[in-house]
Amino acid sequence: MELSAPAAAFRPLTSGNLSRLGYSSSTYLPAPPPPPQFPSRFHCGKHGFVPSLRLRNFPRVEAKKQTFSSFDELLANSDKPVLVDFYATWCGPCQFMVPVLDQVSAILNDKIQVMKIDTEKYPSIANTYKIEALPTFIIFKDGEPYDRFEGALTADQLIQRIELALKEKS
């Protein structure tokens, strides 16, 4: 069934036509909904909500800055195993690990060297080691990946994991 109507039956919408129908130009289009309101203690990180209060409570890592021509050179020239923390600044669990890594580094100073790599500043290194979750920890021994694990841990859990990995594969 086909319907047809004369062209005069269809008039374009104008402010005059709208006012005859009971609409003003301001009431024709509904106002956009207000943006969602989130509690002030949260901010939206790159991948979701991160409690901003937690981020402010952690001290900065006191890192020993060294210059190497490549990551591989750093690993090859290390005289002890290297624990590498692959992290991102927007990652809440990664920020939780900052004081934990300081503590672990101080306790296991004679057994392992701890270093951090920002996956957003060095995406090629993250891609090389297929970093898909944060934080990811890789223990390197003699320049090669030795053990790998992901997720935030307490200092005791991390120490236990490192010592177990070094003891098992010795």
- Residue-by-residue DSSP string for 24-61: -HHHHSPPPPPPPP--TTEEEETTEEEEHHHHHTSPPP
Q: Is 44 known to be catalytic?
A: no
What 3-state DSSP class applies to 155?
helix
Q: Which of 74, 88, 94, 166 is catalytic?
A: 94
Looking at the DSSP assignment, which residues form a beta bridge with residue 49?
44
* Rounded-to-integer distance, Cα 117 and Cα 91, Å: 13
Using the CB atoms, write b or e for 45-80: b if 16+ within 10 Å. beeeebeeeebeeeeeeeeeeeeeeebeebbeebee
Of the chain, the end-to-end C-alpha distance in Å amounts to 83
Q: Which of 50, 83, 84, 91 is catalytic?
A: 91
Q: Is 91 known to be catalytic?
A: yes
Which residues have a catalytic role annotated?
91, 94
